[in-house]
Amino acid sequence: MRGAKVETPNMFSYLSPEQRVPQDHPLRAIRVIVDRSLAELDSHFQGIYSAFGRPSIPPEHLLRALLLQVFYSIRSERQLMEQLNYNLLFRWFVGLDMDAAVWVPTVFTKNRDRLLDHGTVRMFFHSVLEQARTRDWLSDEHFSVDGTLLEAWASQKSFQPKDPEDRDGDGSDFRGQERSNDTHASVTDPDARLYKKSAGEASRLAYLGHVLMDNRHGLIAEEMVTTADGTAEVDAAVRMVDDLGGTQRITLGADKGYDCREFVQDLRDRKVTPHVARKRKGSAIDGRTTRHAGYAMSIHARRRIESIFGWMKTIGGLRKTRFQGLERVGLHFSLAATAYNILRISRLRVA
């Protein structure tokens, strides 16, 4: 029997967003992890907001909305506000009821920047990571490190001579000119550097994102963003190892780009066993490392770090960053790393 075609909408609905979200929806497991970390950050939120003045957007709502922006690859805050206006799933996750007004995009952006200026994202990252550590999902012995190129939000024609007197026109006619980071800088994003990851690639204005991965479950144990230069990857690896703390010996897997004597010696001085892939000639890795079975295991596990970068670029929106400046790009990278860890932990809870 054909159903009646009734196009007159009901005026009232008696179902809440909580009732409309399926019990087995992946965001439910994610919401549990997020709420637990946000509860731990309550004292931090109390300290960064004044007791007087006009109420701002609740920080819990801000962070949940920013996570949605990463999970669903929403490019701009304007699109995010549009989704929050009619998407009941998004409203439920953020904590908005059916009749709550959605924020103006510029107001949301200003509140976001004010929140992120107080180190909130880094605290959020470590709070989520601590949940994995308490469940013994985070290794304290075996790690891998790598870096990836993050294309800056700046065009090639913005890369102009540092001396304004040497600039000619709008910078669009740069072909045939010799340009380097010593003599030129982007007028759009001065922190970006002209860089290429490997021979044969075109140079691009970019940053470098670095990740220290736990080999047990592929969680991000440490992360950072640096300016792009020839030694940034090995320098960042040493800094992230130092940030781990601890006194016991650990292993660190890495690709052939890290096979240099200074880096390998720095690791050994820090009681870190360098499980670095060997170059064909002039390798700093010798038999005292490669003879152990753990070396081959680390080389195999290291490849999983590429899936982290793949997710952060395709889903997390980091193939070309939408922010300018080293600090802002670093905050975006930290937020994407936090979102990745939340997703991994939610899947480990189900497994």
- On whether residue 30 sits in a domain, the answer given is yes
Instruction: Give residue 200's pLDDT.
Output: 76
Using CA atoms of 103, 321, 312, 64 in order, give the dihedral in degrees to the nearest 10: -20
Same domain, 151 and 80: no
On average, the pLDDT of the chain sits at 89
Instruction: Give residue 211's pLDDT.
Output: 97
Same domain, 112 and 153: no
By percentage, how much of the chain surpasses pLDDT 90? 66
- Rounded Cα–Cα distance for residues 118 and 288 (Å): 45
- On whether residue 329 sits in a domain, the answer given is no
Same domain, 110 and 143: no
Q: Give the list of residues 6+ apart from residue 54 with CB closer than 8 angstroms, or none.
A: none
Same domain, 145 and 52: no
Number of domains in the chain: 2
CATH (domain of 221): 3.30.420
Query: Could you report the per-residue pLDDT of 303-343, keeping only the tens digit for each?
Result: 999 999 999 999 999 999 999 999 999 999 999 999 999 99
Query: Could you report the per-residue pLDDT of 77-113, keeping only the tens digit for each?
Result: 999 999 999 999 999 999 998 888 999 999 999 988 8
Same domain, 246 and 190: yes
- On whether residue 268 sits in a domain, the answer given is yes
- C-alpha count within 13 angstroms, C-beta hemisphere, residue 156: 10
Using CA atoms of 301, 305, 306, 307 in order, give the dihedral in degrees to the nearest 10: 100
Mark residue 325 as left, alpha or beta (left: phi above 0; alpha: psi -120 to 50; beta: remaining).
Answer: left
Helix (H) or strand (E) holding 316: none
Is 250 a residue whose pLDDT tops 90?
yes
Query: Could you report the per-residue pLDDT of 222-232, keeping only the tens digit for each?
Result: 999 999 998 99
Helix (H) or strand (E) holding 336: helix 326-350
Query: Could you report the per-residue pLDDT of 252-263, keeping only the tens digit for each?
Result: 999 999 999 999
Residue matched to tokens 């609740």: 58
What would you report as the CA-atom Rg of the chain, rounded to the nearest whole angstrom?
Answer: 24
Beta bridge partners of 146: 211
Locate the DSSP E strands across the chain: 142-151, 159-161, 184-186, 193-195, 204-214, 220-227, 250-254, 272-276
- Tokens in use for 321? 């960053």
Same domain, 228 and 98: no
Give how far Cα 129 sits from Cα of 65, 125, 145, Å: 20, 6, 17
Contact 215, 298 (CB under 8 A): yes
Contact 143, 249 (CB under 8 A): no
Query: Could you report the per-residue pLDDT of 14-71, keeping only the tens digit for each?
Result: 777 888 899 999 999 999 999 999 999 999 998 888 887 788 889 999 999 999 999 9
- On whether residue 297 sits in a domain, the answer given is yes
Same domain, 114 and 157: no
Same domain, 107 and 158: no
Instruction: Give residue 280's pLDDT.
Output: 87
- On whether residue 51 sits in a domain, the answer given is yes
- Rounded Cα–Cα distance for residues 338 and 345 (Å): 11
Instruction: Give residue 170's pLDDT.
Output: 58
Same domain, 216 and 302: yes
- On whether residue 133 sits in a domain, the answer given is no
- On whether residue 59 sits in a domain, the answer given is yes
Contact 34, 95 (CB under 8 A): no
- Tokens in use for 57? 């957007």
Residue matched to tokens 């102009």: 160
Domain region containing 87:
17-118
Query: Could you report the per-residue pLDDT of 199-222, keeping only the tens digit for each?
Result: 777 889 999 999 999 999 999 999
Select from 59, 105, 56 the least CA-distant residue to 80. Answer: 105
Query: Could you report the per-residue pLDDT of 137-181, keeping only the tens digit for each?
Result: 998 899 999 999 999 999 888 888 887 766 666 555 566 677 788
Instruction: Give residue 258's pLDDT.
Output: 94
Q: Give the list of residues 6+ apart from residue 193 with CB closer than 8 angstroms, or none.
A: 181, 205, 206, 207, 227, 228, 229
Instruction: Give residue 1's pLDDT.
Output: 66
- On whether residue 10 sits in a domain, the answer given is no
- C-alpha count within 13 angstroms, C-beta hemisphere, residue 268: 13
